[in-house]
Amino acid sequence: MSNAPRLIDPFARAITYLRVSVTDRCDFRCVYCMAEHMTFLPKKELLTLEELDRMCSTFIGLGVEKLRITGGEPLMRRGIMTFFNNMSRHLDSGALKELTLTTNGSQLDRFATDLYAAGVRRVNVSLDTLDTDKFARVTRWGRLDQVLRGIDAAREAGLRIKINTVALKGFNEDELFDLTEWCAREAMDLTFIEVMPMGDLGNEDRIGQYWSLKDLRGDLAMRYTLTDLTERTGGPARYVRLEETRQKIGFITPLTHNFCESCNRVRMTCTGDLFMCLGQEDNASLRDVMRAHPEDDGPLIAAIEEAISHKPKGHDFDYSRQRADGQVSRHMSHTGG
C-alpha cells in the first residue's frame, strides 16, 4: 500500500493523524470525562482486535503516519498488546512514523516494557493533581500511588512521558507551579488543556470548571521567562520553553485560541464511528461497511474518503456568553481522549 497522503479535506488539509478508541471502559470516572455511573457498550458493538487492525491498516495505506490509541483506558482492553504488536509491522515498514497512546497511567506498571517492545516510544499520561485526596475526588475511583508507579515503570522501560493536565478552576489552580516543577525534576513534558463542553453537563458545571489558559500562561509568566516555540508535534498544542528550567510546556486551547486551521486528525470510536471533528456531532459509521465486505477494502476506502470530504473547518466550542455553546452530547470517553 502506498503511504502518499490520499485523505485531503475540503480545506486542503492532509489527514495524517488518526486517534483510535479501543474501548469505552475505564477504571477511573474523571468528572470532566465520564458520568459516575456509566452504561458501557455491549461487546458485540465493539470492533474486534482483528477489525481494529484492518481499519487502522487501511488508514495507514491512505497516508496516516501517526496512530494514537485511546479509550476509555486503552490498556483495559483485553488482549490489547496483540493489537500493538501487530501495528508494529507498519513501524518496521516505515509507513507509520509513530505509534503511541494516551492513558491514565493505572496499568503502565504492567504494560510499559511490552509497549516499548512493540515500538511505542512516547506516552501521554492524564494527571490533573499531585494531591492524593484531590486525585481521588477528580477521578472518583482512582489511586494516585498506582499512577505514579506506572509513570516510574514507563520511564524505566525507556518511554518518554508527557503529562496532560486539564486546567480546572478552583481545583488545581494552586498546583500550577508544583506540577510544573515536578515535571521539570522528572524530565517530563507538560501540556495543559482547557476543559471542553462534552457529555452530560447536568452533574458538572463546565463554566465553573473553565480556567482560561491565557490566564494560566500569565500566571506562569510571573515566575518564569516564557519563549514561544514554533515546534508542532502533529497535535493541537502550542508550546513554550521555560528558560529557567529549560522544559517544554504545551497549551491546548480549544476555547481561548481555536487551533482548527491546522487540524490534521480524525477520531475513530471503538464502535467504528469516524468523527471528523471532536467538537461536532457529524460522524460516519465504518464498522458496518467493513463487516459487509470482509474480503474487499474498496468499499471501506470509499467510505473513509467520503467522510473526509465532509470534515468541517472547525468546532463551535464557546464559553464567551457564559454558557457552554457548541456542547456535544457524547462523553469524551466515547470519542477517545
30 in a known ligand binding site: yes
Q: For the chain, what percentages of helix, strand and coil (3-state, to nearest 5) are there? A: 35, 20, 45
68 in a known ligand binding site: yes
Give the residue carrying C-alpha cell 516505515: 94
2 in a known ligand binding site: no
102 in a known ligand binding site: yes
63 in a known ligand binding site: no
Q: Angle at the Cα of 122 (from 257 to 335), degrees rounded to 5?
A: 55
CA 191 remoteness from chain centre? 12
3-class secondary structure, 79: coil
Question: What's the start-to-end Cα distance of the chain, in Å?
Answer: 29
3-class secondary structure, 175: helix
The answer to whether the beta carbons of residues 104 and 142 sit under 8 Å apart is: yes
The closest alpha carbon to 3, from 47, 50, 61, belongs to 61
Give the residue carrying C-alpha cell 508494529: 88
270 in a known ligand binding site: no
Which runs of E-coded beta strand occur in 46-97? 66-70
321 in a known ligand binding site: no
Phi and psi at 273, nearest 5°, equal -90, 130
Phi and psi at 184, nearest 5°, equal -65, -45
All cell numbers assigned to 117: 517492545
162 in a known ligand binding site: yes
Neighbours of 135 (CB within 10 A): 19
Q: Is the peptide bond before 72 cis (omega within 30 degrees of 0)?
A: yes
263 in a known ligand binding site: yes
276 in a known ligand binding site: no
56 in a known ligand binding site: no
DSSP of 202-259? TSS-HHHHB--HHHHHHHHHTTS-EEE-----SSS-EEEEETTTTEEEEEE-TTTS--
Q: Which residues are annotated as a binding site for S-adenosyl-L-methionine?
A: 32, 72, 126, 196
Q: Which residues are annotated as a binding site for [4Fe-4S] cluster?
A: 26, 30, 33, 260, 263, 277
Q: Which residues are annotated as a binding site for GTP?
A: 19, 68, 102, 162, 265-267
Q: Which residues are annotated as a binding site?
A: 19, 26, 30, 32-33, 68, 72, 102, 126, 162, 196, 260, 263, 265-267, 277
